[in-house]
Amino acid sequence: MYRTHTCGELRLGHCGGEATLAGWVQRVRDLGGMLFIDLRDRYGITQLVTDGNTPGEIREQASRLGRESVVQVRGTVRERSNKNRNLPTGDVEVTLSALRVLSAAALPPFTIQNDSDGGDDLRMKYRYLDLRRPVLQQNLMLRAQMAQSARTWLSAQGFIEVETPVLIRSTPEGARDFVVPSRMNPGEFYALPQSPQILKQLLMVAGFDKYFQIVKCFRDEDLRSDRQPEFTQIDCEMSFVEQEDVLNTFEGLTRQLFREVKGVETGSFPRMPYSEALALYGSDKPDLRFGMPLADVSENVRGKGFPVFDGAAYTGGICVEGCAGYSRKQLDELTEWVKRPQIGARGLVWIKLNSDGSLRSSIDKYFNEEELKDIAFHFRASTGDLILLLSGDVCKTRNALGQLRLEMGNRLGLRAKESFRPLWVVDFPLLEWDDEARRWSAMHHPFTSPKPEDIPLLESNPGQVRANAYDLVINGVEIGGGSVRIHDPALQSAMFKVLGFTPDQAEMQFGFLMNAFRYGAPPHAGIAFGFDRMVSLFAGLDSIRDVIAFPKNNAGRDMMNDAPSPLPQEQLAELSIAVRPAAGS
């Protein structure tokens, strides 16, 4: 038996007994008379000690132990004279009577403790060492707990877990596919699923009624802190349901996860139409942890002779409570901030409601105090507040204001990690105009159903058609999204037509789905949660990397095993992939 206890287990009650432990040497402190070793495993840290009674050779061996070596030790548990209140095992220590080195460690490239001294790249290269750090171990344990909890809840609601294939035919979800050459079918390729969308719809046609899967999806997109080329979804689909049923079911799942994993009661989730989210928060994923909504003052500021406002389709702003005291320097700095290319505003107008009751602004030349008051009224601003205005094109300006709002929320500490404000954003547009391709594309995906009352607009005014599509947004992060699906082959054909597919192209790409719909398709709807994002939200992290065991870097590389890598020519030839001429030939 390698161990009788784990390194997180021993307490005062074990004193006087023998224990055998195994783990990694975190640290050795040699104080001459006494020598202490911190022994670590997944469960915790236990202090080992040698003193005057320890046999000389064990004392000698212990003093030579390198950090991160794997050892097995035996000894007697005793109460510590110097207790460590920060460790669950901090009341006790084990006096060594036997020590066996199971595996000696080379000097690790960085320190293995919560605040490591290793840089990002180094820690990615030695991910297996980074993963020894307790913070990362806790993230992965949280992930496992959430997956387990979701599985249990969904199974209890009658959802059936079905595995769908990883080698499939490409399904458009708006990103590029990763492809896999087929050796047995020269010149042909599988795609890795961007999501199991069509497959789960076919499971509904097959009568499974309620499906879920915790599933890897693959999208070849540019990477950001919340995107990885492969990521995990909790993917779900239900038959004989309407949008309301889906929202209620998955609100139930989300609330259960908050309750069970975080001990948080979120209450029921508000529902906000997409158009309202854009108008009030400048984003389709509003962060509701704080207010500071946008107000549109286009009409109030036009015609006062200020050319910027007069020429703009939209002028709007936010009211930042209690910030009238901002200095010239702070305002200049904010102006620079909104002018950064990522935000793209051309300038920033400010109005201060000073504590003496006066109003001052950067547009005093054009607006008298009464006119400024009229603007302030639209923001329900009070003494001490600062109003910030941007103007320009409607979409871009709202977006810039949305980002400015988040920035001010950060500066004022209004975005606490442990506060959770979920909502459903509903009534998304069905289509968006793709400027580059000069055609309409599906905002969610081509299988999303238009709202029945908007179907007549499909041909005449496609941009106005709203979809039965919804997103779950928590703290400004899109955590899940889904839609009611089209289950009528005629409507699906009409949709493909709007999306610019000829009947032949539609037949070639989606013929099997259309065919399936001819054999009796139930009305169905579903959703997928971005599981990595959900875990990182629960863990209070900004990046999804640290909730993934072996993530890729921003260039899509696995730094540890150095993938992707070139293939030998023979392997390429076997896959009928053009072989590069050998160097020098």
Q: How far is residue 430 CA from its own chain's centroid?
A: 24
Q: Give the one residue of 44, 402, 429, 481 binding ligand ASP; rule: CB under 6 A.
A: 481
Residue with Cβ nearer ligand ASP (376 or 425):
425
Q: Does 47 bind ligand ASP (CB under 6 A)?
A: no
CA distance linking residue 343 with residue 230, whole number of Å: 29
- Pairing status of strand 160-161 against strand 210-218: parallel
Q: 358 by DSSP, 3-state: which?
A: coil
For residue 57, give Cα distances in angstroms to 63, 96, 104, 309.
10, 11, 17, 84
Q: Give the one residue of 38, 91, 130, 173 binding ligand ASP; rule: CB under 6 A.
A: 173
Residue with Cβ nearer ligand ASP (350 or 428):
428
Residue with Cβ nearer ligand ASP (92 or 443):
443
Q: CB of residue 267 vs ligand ASP: minimum separation in angstroms?
A: 25
Residue with Cβ nearer ligand ASP (401 or 516):
516
Q: CB of residue 200 vs ligand ASP: minimum separation in angstroms?
A: 7
Helix (H) or strand (E) holding 525, with range, is strand 524-530
Of residues 417 through 436, those in contact with ligand ASP by CB under 6 A are: none
Q: CB of residue 481 vs ligand ASP: minimum separation in angstroms?
A: 5
Q: What is the dihedral of CA 566, 567, 573, 576, to 10 degrees?
A: -70
Residue with Cβ nearer ligand ASP (126 or 250):
250
Q: Residue 283: which of 445, 152, 477, 427 has the closest Cα?
A: 477
Q: How is residue 155 written in tokens?
A: 């199974």
For ligand ASP, the nearest residue by Cβ is 195
CA distance linking residue 449 with residue 486, whole number of Å: 5
Q: Does 449 bind ligand ASP (CB under 6 A)?
A: no
Neighbours of 118 (CB within 10 A): 18
Q: Does 483 bind ligand ASP (CB under 6 A)?
A: yes
Q: Does 75 bind ligand ASP (CB under 6 A)?
A: no
Q: Give the one residue of 409, 450, 482, 551 binding ligand ASP; rule: CB under 6 A.
A: 482
In degrees rounded to 5, what are phi and psi of residue 47? Answer: -85, 130
Q: CB of residue 468 vs ligand ASP: minimum separation in angstroms?
A: 11
324: CB partners within 8 A, 6+ apart: 352, 353, 354, 355, 383, 384, 385, 386
Q: CB of residue 173 vs ligand ASP: minimum separation in angstroms?
A: 6
Residue with Cβ nearer ligand ASP (478 or 558):
478
Choose the binding region for ligand ASP from 29-37, 65-73, 480-488, 541-549 (rule: CB under 6 A): 480-488
CA distance linking residue 526 with residue 485, whole number of Å: 8
Choose the binding region for ligand ASP from 79-87, 399-407, 477-485, 570-578 (rule: CB under 6 A): 477-485
Q: Please, which residues bridge with residue 476 across strands? A: none
Choose the binding region for ligand ASP from 32-40, 297-305, 481-489, 499-507 (rule: CB under 6 A): 481-489
CA distance linking residue 358 with residue 354, whole number of Å: 5
Residue with Cβ nearer ligand ASP (50 or 254):
254
N- to C-terminal Cα distance for the chain?
A: 61
Q: CB of residue 198 vs ligand ASP: minimum separation in angstroms?
A: 9
DSSP letters for 223-241: --TT--SEEEEEEEEEES-
Of residues 509 through 568, those in contact with ligand ASP by CB under 6 A are: 526-528
Q: How many residues bind ligand ASP (CB under 6 A)?
A: 9
The number of CA neighbours under 13 Å toward the Cβ of 96 is 30
Residue with Cβ nearer ligand ASP (116 or 468):
468
Q: How is residue 579 written in tokens?
A: 């072989």
Q: Does 195 bind ligand ASP (CB under 6 A)?
A: yes
- What is the contact surface with ligand ASP in residues (CB under 6 A)? 173, 195, 197, 481-483, 526-528
